[in-house]
Structure 1
């Protein structure tokens, strides 16, 4: 494969968890990756180093996904490094939990800014700049179906992500660009474990028939499918949760 024909991807939130697993999995398919981070430059560089050690190509970029100027700079950096962009994977997100009645509205606004506005900003730029044959992969959550107490603000933000995903897929008619969302179930990432007791973790792990938490690698396989061979999957929400809902 020549450099000009090799596919390239931006992965927001690529410094850890699902983002890191997705970067490594796409790199295994020969995709060059830009690994975005918002605060942990060291973790992003460690992910990039792991990609390079495995024989892939990676660069890193730090910025706020909800800031359109910073994200435009990120897209420009990817184009400069790779010559174009084929895949955008939006794993960046935050998940503070509280009952709706108790949720601090400043925290609620922060969740919506990162998860909704951030996805919208990156999708807008991707819609303008992805090459034909490309894929936009957003991230929702199975909590929109599981409806567990405490997840109201987070699930609301991901409901918005699903809506924009389905509409953008139809707005890109004729462009040969797919737009889908992955809705993971509970997945063993630092974001999931934060603030939970072992008893809570064990109970949540039992929700699906597989009776375990998902792994970042489980979700990365879904990313690789939508980024590569899954060209006839478009305008869909793929629930990757072991059968929990």
Structure 2
């Protein structure tokens, strides 16, 4: 018996539609696999690697032939590009969108005094602006009782150097998500953030020196990095049984940091 069969009818997502940005690799890709396992149809955004995205789609189609999967390539950068994302999703799935998950983000690890205006603008676009307009357009387009999940960072609870540009441009996400959770109550739409600790993906391993990665391990449970498999079940919960949770930022990092 599959796990989805144990869910109460009001918590099942079989036949629903999920938009996932960055949805073909790392956390977004593993989230897509889990929602497909539960029978959700998928509209998966990716930015550049078309072959990887198509291979990923074929993999899911083979394993879950009953699930409809559509790919969408685009450089999300402003309100208009987010409007187009949702418009294209609704054209492929006329019954509408039920789940919206945003994985877009960028890290630049530098002292504040070394960050150029161009680098700041790039951080601000990816971590702040896209986050805002993703939530805005989700609120405008999701079906009643939909779910919005934004991926944040546990560094928002860290007292540290070198991540000021990243932390500063990620911080507004918490206020956008909380405000949306109140504003969308009449439609039954929830809005939450999941904030992982340093996660063992190519994104982290290619951007951090080995000594930093080893340090991250020493300050978390079991002396290891956050795994994608630690985070996917939390996302799954928020779109199934966790429907009474809204306006929250869930820090999932094995004790790496703890918000006040």
> The TM-score by the shorter chain falls in which range?
over 0.9
Give the aligned partner of residue 43 of structure 1. 52
Distance in 2 (alpha carbons) for counterparts of 1:54 and 1:217? 19
Shift of 1:187: 0.3
User: Taking structure 1 as the reference length, what is the TM-score of the superposition?
Assistant: 0.93
Alignment of 1:232-243 (within 5 A): 232-243=244-255
User: Taking structure 2 as the reference length, what is the TM-score of the superposition?
Assistant: 0.88
Whether the 8 Å CA contact 2:14–2:39 is kept in 1: the answer is no
Whether the 8 Å CA contact 1:65–1:121 is kept in 2: the answer is no
Give the aligned partner of residue 161 of structure 1. 173
Give the aligned partner of residue 79 of structure 1. 90
Q: Does 1:114 align with 2:126?
A: yes
Question: RMSD over aligned Cα, in angstroms?
Answer: 1.7
Whether the 8 Å CA contact 2:24–2:56 is kept in 1: the answer is yes
Secondary structure at the aligned position of 2:185 is classed as: coil
Distance in 1 (alpha carbons) for counterparts of 2:146 and 2:37? 18
Q: Does 1:221 align with 2:233?
A: yes
Q: Does 1:67 align with 2:44?
A: no
Give the aligned partner of residue 28 of structure 2. 19
Secondary structure at the aligned position of 1:180 is classed as: strand
Q: Deviations over 1:79-135 (max 9, x none)?
A: 122221000000011112111121122101101111111111111111001011210
Q: Does 1:184 align with 2:193?
A: no
Q: Deviations over 1:57-76 (max 9, x none)?
A: 31110112223333222212
Q: Cα distance 1:165–1:9, how it changes in 2: closer, same or farther (>3 A)? A: same
Q: Which runs of 5+ in 1 are unaligned?
A: none
Q: Cα distance 1:60–1:210, how it changes in 2: closer, same or farther (>3 A)? A: same
Whether the 8 Å CA contact 1:89–1:136 is kept in 2: the answer is yes
Whether the 8 Å CA contact 1:65–1:122 is kept in 2: the answer is no
Whether the 8 Å CA contact 2:14–2:40 is kept in 1: the answer is no
Q: Which runs of 5+ in 2 are unaligned?
A: 1-8
Q: What is the aligned counterpart of 1:28 among 31, 37, 60?
A: 37
Whether the 8 Å CA contact 1:13–1:93 is kept in 2: the answer is no
Q: What is the aligned counterpart of 1:173 among 185, 201, 226?
A: 185
Aligned residues: 243
Greater alpha carbon shift after TM alignment, 148-157 vs 65-74: 65-74
Q: Cα distance 1:122–1:95, how it changes in 2: closer, same or farther (>3 A)? A: same
Q: Does 1:57 align with 2:57?
A: no
Distance in 1 (alpha carbons) for counterparts of 2:100 and 2:57? 16
Shift of 1:144: 0.7
Give the aligned partner of residue 3 of structure 2. none
Whether the 8 Å CA contact 1:15–1:41 is kept in 2: the answer is no
Distance in 1 (alpha carbons) for counterparts of 2:54 and 2:170? 28
